[in-house]
Amino acid sequence: MHKPIRRFALLAVLLALSPLALMAQTAPVGGYELPPAALQAVVDAPRPPQLSISPHRDLLALTQTPALPGMDVVAQPELKLAGLRINPRTYAQSRFVFGSDLWLLDIASGKEIRLQGLPKPLAVASSQWSPDQRYLAFNQVDAKAGSNELWLVDVAARTARRLTALPLNTVAGTGYRWMPDSQQLLVQLRPEGQGAVPVSDGIPTGPNVQVTQAGAGVKAIRTYQDLLKNDDDARRFEHYMLTQAALIDLQGKVANIGAPSLTLSLAPSPDGHYLLRQRIERPFSYLVPVDSFPRRIEVLDLHGELVKQIAELPLIEGLPTGNDAVATGVREIEWRNDATASLVWAEAQDGGDPASKADIRDVVFMQAAPFNQSPVTLARLSMRYVGTYWGHGELALLSESWWKTRKIKQWRIAPDHPERAPQLIREASSEDRYKDPGEPVMVHDEHGQAHLLIAADGESIYRIGEGASPEGDRPFLHKVSLRDGQTTELFRSQAPYYEAPKAMLDKDGQSVLTARESPSEPTNYFVRSLGAQPAAAPRALTRFANPTPQLSGVNKQQIRYKRKDGVELTGTLYLPPHYDAKRDGPLPMLMWAYPAEFKSADAAGQVTDSPYRFNRISYWGPQAFLAMGYAVLDNFSVPIVGEGNKEPNDSYVPQLVASAEAAVDEVVRRGVADRNRIAVGGHSYGAFMTANLLAHTRLFKAGIARSGAYNRTLTPFGFQAEERNYWQAKDVYQSMSPFNYADQIKDALLMIHGEQDNNSGTFPIQSERMYAAVKGLGGTARLVLLPNEAHAYRARESVMQMLAETNRWLERYIGPGKVAGKH
C-alpha cells in the first residue's frame, strides 16, 4: 500500500530539483521585487538637471530631474485616443517626469540665482524664455490635484507667480508660447463652460464598419497603437482636444481668440500680427493616429478672424510604399524666421510616391502677408525637402534628402530673391559620419526667432558637430566661409576629455559654452575663451558629482575588430571595478546592441562613441550589471549592409550572426569573457535581435529581450528601416522573424514587456505569442508583463522588477559576476 506513495514522493523530490522548479522557487509569482542593493543604488542615483540657455546667452535655467515616480503616479487614469495618451484629470499629455526644482545660473559669475514663490510641490512640464529674457514661463502640472497651470518667473525680481487661474490644455502641445513683443503669451486653454466628458451607456448602436475599395492603389499603413475604436472614443477625443486660443498679458488679463477648435498647432508670425493654425476635423479614422486626420491650415488675425485658408488636407490612411513616400499637398509649413510674416512649405510633385519617375520631387513655396498674391517658388528639388536654416533675405540654407540612397544636399538660397539660382554647398551621404560638417549655429533675435549666426564678414557661418573620426567622436566648433568653403577650426575636443560645444556666447566665436566629461568625471558645463594666447583653461560653471561613486573604478575601453566579411566593427567594453584580467581570469559577460541598416560597408565600419566619455552607469542599459561584477560589451556594432541595388535585410540573419560571432571572438581573445558564460540582450529592435541570435546560434547561454517584436507578419507594411511590405518581400519577412524559428531556441530567453506598449509594431502580443511558442516547443523562457508601462518603463517598481528579473536570469544561466573587492 505504501510503495506507490513512496514512488510519488521520490518523483516529487526529483521534480523539485529540476531547473524549472528551482527557477519557480527563486522567482516570486506575485508582488513587485527589489533587486540586490547594488542595483537599487543605480536606480536611485541622482540625475543631473536639464539646462536651457537664455536668449542673450548670459543665463542658464536649470530644471532638476527627480527620482523615478512610484506606481501610484504611473497608474493614474490614462486615455489612449488617436495615438495620444492623455491624463484626463489634467487635460495634458500623460507624462511622469517633471522638473522638481528650478533655478537660474549667471554665466559670467557662475553664481546660482534661487527663485522665490515657486509652487510646492513643483512639477515643471516645460519652460520657455521670453524673447527679451525678462521672464521665464513654465507649465506646472500637478497630476494629483488635477491642475495644469501657467506660471511666470520675473528674472530681475527672482520671483515666480501663477499667471492665470484658467487651466491650460496641453493634450496636443506645450499649450503656450511667447508672442514676439514679450508682453503676451499665446495659450491654449480649456474652454470655459465646456460640458462633461461624453460617457457611453455601454449599449452599442450598431456594428463598427470599415470599408475599402479596389482601385485605391497600394497604401502602406504601419501598425499603430492607441487608435480610436468607435464613435464613443471619437467623441471623447474631441472633448479632450478642444481648446480655446487666447492671449494673456503679464498681468494675467485674458483675451480669447475666436471660437474653440480642435487645434493641433498654433504659431504667431515673427511680427506678431498673424497666427498660423492647424486644426483637425472629421471624418476621423480607426486605422491611423491624429497626425493623419483631415486638417485645415489657416492664417488668422489676432481676433481669430480667417485671413487665408492655406490648405484643406484630406484623411491620410496610408502612403505609397517606401520611406521616401509623403502625403500630397501642403506639408512642413512654417513661418520664415527672418521675415515679418511669410509662410514656407513643400508640396510633392510625384504624387508622394518614390516609385514614380520624376525629375522634380518637391517644390518649396513661399507666400507673404497679406496673402492675397499667388505663392512664389523658392526651390525645385530632386529629393524631399527637409527644412531651412534662415539667416536674412540674402542668405538661408535649404536641405533635401533621399532615404533610398542616403543622399543629402544643402543649398544656399536668397529667399528675398527666389529668381536667383541656388548654390550647392554640400552633397554627401547621410551615413558618412566622418565627413559630417555639423549643424549651423543659431541664435535668437529680439522677437525670439532663431537665425543663423553670421560672422562679421557677412559670408561665414559657424557649425557645431560630433566630430566622428577613427579615434572616436571629437566634437568641434568651425567657422565656415560660404564664399569658398574654407573652414577654420575654432575648437576641437582633446584627450583625455570628451568636450562638446553647446552654444556660442558671443558673435565672434571667442567664447563658447561646452559640456565636458572624462571616463572618471561626470558631465559638467564650462566656459571657454578661444581667443586667448596661450589657450586659457576653461572655467567651470557646474560641479555635478559622480552619481554612482561606488562604481568609479569601472574600466572603459573602445574596441575595434573585424567581421569575417571585412566590415570594421566597434564596441564599448566595460570591466567592473578592481577587475584584473590576468589575476581574475575571464568573466561572465552581458552583451547589448541595437542593429542598424547601411547602404555602405565603409559607413557601417565607422567608429562610434568616444573612449573619453564618462562611465555613466544607468539603470536602463546593461552597464548597471557592472555593479554585480559582470563584464559588459555595450553597443557592439551590428551593421546590416545592402550596397548598390541590394537591400540590407535581404541578408539580415547571416550579417547578424557574423557580427555577434566577431564580438564574442574578440572579447574571448582579450581574455575578459568566458565563451561559455555570455548573455545577449537588447530593447525593442535589440530584443528582436536577441531572439534571432538565440534562434540561429548557440553563442549565448541566455537572452534578455525587452519590449520587442518577433513575428514580422504582424507588421506587414514595414518595420524599422524596411521599406517593402510583406507581399513584396515575403521571404525576407519570414526569414527575419524569430517566431518562425522558435523550435531552434535552445537557450534561456527572458522577455519583458510593458502591458501598455505605445510603440508602433511592438504590441505586447508579440511577446505573448513568442513565449507561447517557446513554451509549447519545450524551450526555456520567462515572460514578464509590467502593468501600466509603455515602451519605456517609468515606475520605480517596474524598473526594480526589470533589474531583479534580469539579475536572476544572468545568475542562473551564466553564473554570478565577480564580487567587487574579492579576487
Handedness of CA 194, 197, 203, 209 (dihedral sign): positive
Helix ranges (H only) for 605-714 are 652-669, 685-696
The SS3 call for residue 340 is: coil
Instruction: State how far the Cα of 336 lies from the Cα of 334, in Å rounded to an integer.
Output: 6
* Residue of 561, 528, 565, 521 whose CA lies nearest to 544: 521
Burial class (CB in 10 A: 0-12, 13-18, 19+), 427: exposed
* Residues 384 and 326 sit within 8 Å (Cβ to Cβ): yes
Cα–Cα distance, 445 to 508 (Å, whole number): 16
Task: Please list, in sequence order, all residues whose beta carbon lies within 8 angstroms of the beta carbon of residue 9, skipping any fewer than 6 positions away.
Answer: none
B/e letters for 377-391, b = 16+ CB within 10 Å, e = fewer, are: ebbebebbbbebbbb
Cell of 224: 499603430
CA–CA separation, 817 and 582 (whole Å):
16
Residue keyed to cell 483637425: 280
CA pair distance 395, 398, nearest whole angstrom: 10
Cβ-based burial of 510 (10 A; exposed 0-12, middle 13-18, buried ≥19) = middle
Helix (H, G, I), strand (E, B) or coil at 546: coil
For residue 473, the tally of other CB atoms under 10 A from its CB is 22
The 10 Å Cβ neighbour count of residue 56 is 14
3-class DSSP state for residue 705? strand
Q: 138-148 in b/e burial notation, b at 16+ Cβ within 10 A? A: bbbbbbeeebb
Separation of alpha carbons 433 and 429, rounded Å: 9
Q: How far is 36 from 628, CA to CA, in rounded Å?
A: 9
CA angle centred on 62, ends 60 and 68, rounded to 5°: 160
CA dist., res. 381 & res. 331, Å (int): 15
Catalytic residue ranges? 684, 757, 791
Residue 474 near residue 611, CB atoms below 8 Å: no
Find the radius of gyration of the CA atoms of the chain. 28
Q: Which residues pair with 150 in a beta bridge?
A: 139, 164
End-to-end CA distance of the chain: 55
Reduced to 3 states, what is the DSSP secondary structure of residue 593? coil
